[in-house]
Structure 1
């Protein structure tokens, strides 16, 4: 039997904190989950990662594993200490899968709950997309989410339940909100897994979003661009007055500091100017354009050398 280096499996140091172990496990579990991974060895790697987390995520169980000593190397022949006291631990796995012989030799009673050999397993964590309005991401909000759960009324029976989800101010695209115990139910009396809501910002009628920064394309008139102007612009916190510098061109960017999504530091609002030319649909308008062409003698293509 070969020794398994659980720290190496998760890619963390032996001195890693519990938060570091948790982050490493979640990253690798998502990478190798058989339902989504395209890696050729995904199922095997997922079982290895799950087993490593099973041991290292709990300080007491981790201490028992560390007591074997830190001179072992992955793949070395291993024999468990005689009369091992580690067999009194109960383990709850995220998946209904067998553990390795190495695991069994150290934590032999780990799979068995106290109900006649029934395996006690923690339910699987779930991740779903959760679409919210940009205004909710800015101000924070409480929204309801309907999820399905087992009804206990027979095979295949399902019922819905409604959860109140608190959206914190400043939440960004892709961030996850954890709902403890709202994932898949456990087996053999094991606890339920967690439900992770992955934030997805709905398209906005005015703004686009990049991280905490919001962006706005602002139409301005030719005379506002040429002469400068004070114009009213929307922000997530309400309207503000923006100064357009004289001589501005389409594509010029202006910044409203701290007007993006809240955070430390908060994001900014970037304004992209876009000059809009009035249509010459009346004789009066056409006369204005003819007068401009005659008086200004402006060649917009002069740099082309044509």
Structure 2
């Protein structure tokens, strides 16, 4: 996928105000609208202009684009880094606009997950009560919190428009209770922490989508945990019971006699807590001690003579 420079498409500088962006869009729309334009590839250019304007005219999309696109040139190979949008607070009106299905893969990759509009209008004479919009944010948590629960302080970047029509990022900090057993993709709802309501309507909620920070040892799949487990050759050959450290404590795992490298062992109920809890899935990796001393070499030479084992037999 190639990086798109929306500022270049509209012909405005990165520090352009909202009014300057709108004027540039209107000028290009008059030039490339396929109903009136005689320019070559007018329809294609109009789609590019519409896409650029859909991003740069939206405070939240523009802030996210500015954050992610720093240092990239038009046409440069581009892949959004994992969890690039973690910590951004988006409102429901950030959903892709009408016609976005015709936009590029670049747009879909960046903004396809935004949205989820919500409203609650209640007529009362000539007045109405409008529930505030829900806000959305992705948060990265430590895997340990899923085993113990915790109260964590999180900081969210909230895009705002300043008095000069330029996008800024404000930070707000919240204390969030992380429930024990929280899992990847779960939504933590903070009531009343979204946008304020109108006409006396209630405020919207803040919906936090849970993702886990990369762990040095475990891979998370739903509530299951995956771990590569090194064992010695004698533990694999003779069988053994060995301890495995988990975020919530330690568990003893039986290694069956004659276990081969690559074998998967399942320990039920020892994944992320829940109803039901996940499992612990261990992939055995046999670690071979180095022959870096005379005694170690002697042991290996004895094994070579007396075991007469050929791992390639039958090929």
Give the Cα separation in 1 of the matches to 2:201 and 2:217.
48
Report deviation, 1:274: 0.7
Size of the alignment, in residue pairs?
210
Give the Cα separation in 1 of the matches to 2:220 and 2:145.
14
Residue from 244, 251, 271 that aligns with 1:240 = 251
* Comparing 242-251 and 161-170, the one that deviates more: 161-170
Give the Cα separation in 1 of the matches to 2:175 and 2:197.
22
1:227-247 deviation per Cα after TM superposition (whole angstroms, max 9, x unaligned): 111211112331122221110
Change (3 A) 1:159 1:217: closer
Determine helix, strand or coil for the equivalent of 1:163. Answer: strand
Equivalent positions of 1:291-302 (< 5 A) are 291-302=302-313
Give the Cα separation in 1 of the matches to 2:241 and 2:230.
13
Partner of 2:146: 137
Partner of 1:124: 133
Give the Cα separation in 2 of the matches to 1:220 and 1:145.
39
Give the Cα separation in 2 of the matches to 1:223 and 1:198.
45
Residue from 292, 296, 309 that aligns with 1:285 = 296
Asked if 1 retains the 8 angstrom alpha-carbon contact of 2:133 and 2:205, the reply is yes
Partner of 1:229: 240
Change (3 A) 1:150 1:222: closer
Equivalent positions of 1:24-35 (< 5 A) are 33-34=95-96
Change (3 A) 1:265 1:38: same
Give the Cα separation in 2 of the matches to 1:40 and 1:190.
36
Asked if 2 retains the 8 angstrom alpha-carbon contact of 1:236 and 1:260, the reply is no
> Which of the pair has more CA radius of gyration?
1
Determine helix, strand or coil for the equivalent of 1:165. Answer: strand
Asked if 1 retains the 8 angstrom alpha-carbon contact of 2:140 and 2:210, the reply is yes
Change (3 A) 1:35 1:296: farther
TM-score by length of 2: 0.57
Change (3 A) 1:199 1:35: farther
Report deviation, 1:215: 1.5
Higher relative strand content: 2
Partner of 1:193: 204
Give the Cα separation in 1 of the matches to 2:187 and 2:245.
28
Give the Cα separation in 2 of the matches to 1:167 and 1:261.
14
Unaligned runs of 5+ in 2: 1-90, 104-115
Determine helix, strand or coil for the equivalent of 2:219. Answer: strand
Residue from 162, 165, 168 that aligns with 2:176 = 165
1:172-205 deviation per Cα after TM superposition (whole angstroms, max 9, x unaligned): 1111111122123345655432211110111222
Report deviation, 1:122: 3.5
| Residue 192 (structure 2) pairs with residue 178 (structure 1) | no
| Residue 313 (structure 2) pairs with residue 251 (structure 1) | no
Change (3 A) 1:185 1:204: same
Report deviation, 1:133: 0.6
Asked if 1 retains the 8 angstrom alpha-carbon contact of 2:159 and 2:169, the reply is yes
* Comparing 199-208 and 159-168, the one that deviates more: 159-168
Give the Cα separation in 2 of the matches to 1:180 and 1:134.
24
Determine helix, strand or coil for the equivalent of 1:301. Answer: coil
Equivalent positions of 1:45-194 (< 5 A) are 89-90=123-124, 109=126, 112-113=127-128, 121-147=130-156, 160-187=171-198, 190-194=201-205
Determine helix, strand or coil for the equivalent of 2:295. Answer: helix
Give the Cα separation in 2 of the matches to 1:201 and 1:213.
13
